[in-house]
Structure 1
Amino acid sequence: MKIKNYLFLVFFCITSISFTQDIKDDFKQEKTRKNAIGFSVGLPGYGIEYARSLNDKFNIRLGYTFFNLKDYEINDFKINDDTANLLINANNKAYELLFDYKPFTSSFRLTFGMAYFNNFFVSINSRASDELNIGDITISEEKYGYNQIEADWSSSIAPYIGIGFGRSIPKRNRLGISLDIGAYYLGSPNSSISSTGLLSPSEELNRDTIKEGFDDFKIIPNLKLKLAYSF
């Protein structure tokens, strides 16, 4: 009888320990934060994103990046032997679908995915910085005219590949800082040039030059510093 009671007591203790450990494991699992909201700044603009942990190796991230530069002036910009005043406008609105792969237990990650650039363009207005004197003839800036150069990548889908340092979903603390480095492949933009005044005859000659120049801008760099909050 005593042996039965003793065996029952041992069985009860083992079961209790196992049950307690299961509760601890469940509680620990519940405490694991799998979501995060992040705010970033850098190239190609400001951003906000939502990140979700899929498993120990993969995260999925949905983001929105935006940037707007309006009437930014650069005076006396040197172009060959001449100087010009530049007026620059730029806009970027992009939606991102990204995946993080964590090959190690550290915070290093590989990132791949795509972005939809809904509205992405650059506009540069170039005009003489001063009146032009040719002998006894003086030509005003207005009469000399200006060049309007535009490049547009809007409605483009761009694959993305990059690396990251820091967790997209902070693990130990709710707040975390991370760095993303990578590139989007956008392809060549739709480019154009329009000229006024005395520069009008050169418009046709410069069109191919402008197109060839923008053909090199197929890759857009990504460099962002992000603050994330996990929950």
Structure 2
Amino acid sequence: MKSSLLMLMTGCCMLVSTLTFAQQEWLPDGAVGQPAFKNSVGITVGTQGIGAEVGIPLSTRFNLRLATSLLPYEGDVVKKFNSTFDYNTDFKVEFMNLSAFLDWQPFPTAGSFFRKFALTAGGAYFYKAGGSAKVMLKDDYYYGDIPFTPEEVGEINTVVDWKGWAPYAGLGWHNITIADNFNLGLNLGAYYLGSPDINMTATNWLSSNPAVNEPILRRNLKDYKWLPKFEIKFAYNY
């Protein structure tokens, strides 16, 4: 009985060892394990729009990623702006950057979930980061019985700009296999953009408006210094 139990335990140990070895890979530094990082190229989708990314492992625990992303968005809304009149607002938002990230794997011997986990530091140069808006009356304005068109009343143009260098910090999961050499990654973090530059101009009857409203807008936006980032990556290992 004891010999049969010993043989069974020995067989189980050999099976576990065989499966473990089959899942292991030889890493660049000669150690054995499952690397969190591999050479990869992929596309990204998230709060920063769509983009492309290349991953280059530097060691078993460090990975370099070079990326770019683009977020163009425009539209129009009708608002009153604390007024009895409706205003048409045409707006446009654009974010475009080139980024470099360094990933660090803190748990190289952990289970598969935390072995794919990494902390990230890096930065980006934003060629475009901000938006613009044009505000104009939706309908004619009447002074007594005399109508004035929205163009005659005037328009207000506002530009908000954060472009320039921005450091980044975040975390994520990398190289989550979904099929053969295809994998999935998740990134969560934030860029520090600093306070934006604001420029407001106006025409005709509204020409005095920026003197009153630009300082208010500047004050309201002074604390909008962080740009959150949530991103899903679909990549191919090569």
Q: 2:38 — aligned with what?
A: 34
Q: 1:160 — aligned with what?
A: 168
Question: 5+ residue gaps in structure 1?
Answer: 1-23
1:73 deviates by 3.0
Structure 1 residue 75 and structure 2 residue 48: aligned? no
Q: 1:203 — aligned with what?
A: 210
Structure 1 residue 140 and structure 2 residue 149: aligned? yes
8 Å Cα contact 1:170-1:229 kept in structure 2: no
1:40 deviates by 0.6
8 Å Cα contact 1:76-1:84 kept in structure 2: yes
Compare CA radii of gyration and give the structure with the larger one. 1
Q: 1:93 — aligned with what?
A: 96
Find the aligned partners of 1:50 and 1:211 in 2 and give their Cα distance: 38
1:157 deviates by 1.1
Displaced runs of 4+ in structure 1, greater than 4 A?
A: 30-33, 168-172
1:194 to 189, 201, 209: 201
- TM-score under structure 1 length normalisation: 0.78
1:171 deviates by 9.2
Find the aligned partners of 2:211 and 2:27 in 1 and give their Cα distance: 66
Find the aligned partners of 2:176 and 2:68 in 1 and give their Cα distance: 17
Question: 5+ residue gaps in structure 2?
Answer: 1-20, 29-34
- TM-score under structure 2 length normalisation: 0.76
1:134 deviates by 4.5
Alpha-carbon displacement from aligned partner over 1:47-101 (angstroms, at most 9, x marks no partner):
11111122222211111112223xx332323422443211112222211110112
Shift in CA distance, 129/147, structure 1 to aligned 2, threshold 3 Å: same
1:222 deviates by 0.8
Q: In percent, how many aligned pairs have the same letter?
A: 30
1:172 deviates by 7.7
SS of residue matched to 2:206: helix
RMSD of aligned Cα (Å):
2.6
1:206 deviates by 1.8
Find the aligned partners of 1:79 and 1:100 in 2 and give their Cα distance: 45
SS of residue matched to 2:86: strand
Alpha-carbon displacement from aligned partner over 1:171-215 (angstroms, at most 9, x marks no partner):
984111222111100101211000012111222222211222232
Shift in CA distance, 218/85, structure 1 to aligned 2, threshold 3 Å: same
